[in-house]
Amino acid sequence: MKIPFLNLKVQYEQIKQEVLPMITEAMENAAFIGGPQVLGFESEFAEFCESEHCIGVNSGTDALRFALMAAGVGPENEVITVPNTFIATTEAISQVGAIPVFADIYHDTYNIDVTKIAEKITRKTKAIIPVHLYGQAADMDPLLEIAGQNNIVVIEDACQAHGALYKNKKAGSLGIAGCFSFYPGKNLGAFGEGGAVVTQHEEIAQKIRMIRDHGQAKKYFHDMVGYNGRLDAIQAGVLRIKLRLLKEWNDARRKNALYYNELLSDVPSVTTPFESDFAESVYHLYVILVEDRDGLQDFLNKKGVSTGLHYPRPLHLQKAYAHLGYKEDSFPVTEKVSKRLLSLPMFPELKRTQIEYVVSSIKDFFKK
């Protein structure tokens, strides 16, 4: 059996009948940038995220960068986030001229350890970016409290958490802004690049609308130096079609995760994902923890099971961040789990028989 890590082709088959006429119509109307598809998606995604405003942008990275800019984060400021995330989180911080400051993660959820934040706050700290990793919300209440006490804004990196819940509230709706990616492999993915910021604040929304469109409030009148960071109309059209199915797809991911958990419950060498009481994960990734991670990955590969690593080298140990001067052992939890985490195949259409095959292959490995 061959089991892909992700299969976007089956998803396409499900929506093909709706997508193709939408694309044809966009071509025939030559409606490529902005327009009704983008406006329609923005209002539907804002509603989905229980947020007042949504601004479609080019990518999740742009969403984070524009949110930081709109919140007034700039040169010399410090922004606290985790070393166990995709580099886009800190690229956005670096690109506005600010300095990423890392806080370690919990060993069970792999999300930011809120007890490690206070010690990182200085006079320069302007923002905290919690990452809702693998689809599970970080512990937002204590985090928002620390931020509030110190006059720091919270920008959520919800790029892996479309539809995830924190105490029954939508991920992305809790901070000053929530940032999403529509990279094809995300729970809500476009047919190319895409992203969005959601916010409850009119002022932040207006600033981001300007930033994404060359700093113009009115055509050819530029109030600031901005970016070309808009969402394409065809991508917005694809996202509108997919958004209607997102709840169903997220539910299917959760079902798959529960089935994995059940089948793996008698494999003591495997730690299955831990879900906090306050969180309802949307399982962007299904990540297990094992001692001999590399051995298991090789073995599964030979059995035809594709897996992923999220993430094998923590950001503070990346060459790109050597100038920050972090050494090994700076973040023991992140460093320890980075050598042990393995992402198993996870997508809504994954079949029970495929999950059974993945788990029986894992059991074979430990029987060797």
Binding site for ligand PLP (CB under 6 A): 59-61, 85-86, 88-89, 131, 157, 159-160, 181, 183, 195
Q: Compute the least distance from the CB of residue 83 to ligand PLP, in Å.
A: 12
Residue 81 or 125 having the CB closest to ligand PLP = 81
Do residues 57 and 70 touch, judged by C-beta distance below 8 A? no
Q: Compute the least distance from the CB of residue 246 to ligand PLP, in Å.
A: 16
Residue 61 or 297 having the CB closest to ligand PLP = 61
Q: Could you give the C-alpha distances from 287 to 110, 238, 256, 317, in angstroms and in order?
A: 10, 28, 12, 21
How far is it, in rounded angstroms, from Cα 166 to Cα 9? 31
Tokens of 3: 């089991």
Q: Compute the least distance from the CB of residue 131 to ligand PLP, in Å.
A: 5
The enclosing H or E element of 302 equals helix 293-302
Tokens of 121: 């706050």
Residue 159 or 355 having the CB closest to ligand PLP = 159
Residue 41 or 357 having the CB closest to ligand PLP = 41
DSSP assignments along 169-231, one per residue: EETTSSSSEEEEE--TTSSS--SS--EEEEES-HHHHHHHHHHTBTTEEETTEESS---B-BP
Q: Compute the least distance from the CB of residue 59 to ligand PLP, in Å.
A: 3
Q: Compute the least distance from the CB of residue 64 to ligand PLP, in Å.
A: 6
How far is it, in rounded angstroms, from Cα 213 to Cα 53? 17
Residue 182 or 260 having the CB closest to ligand PLP = 182
Do residues 127 and 278 touch, judged by C-beta distance below 8 A? no
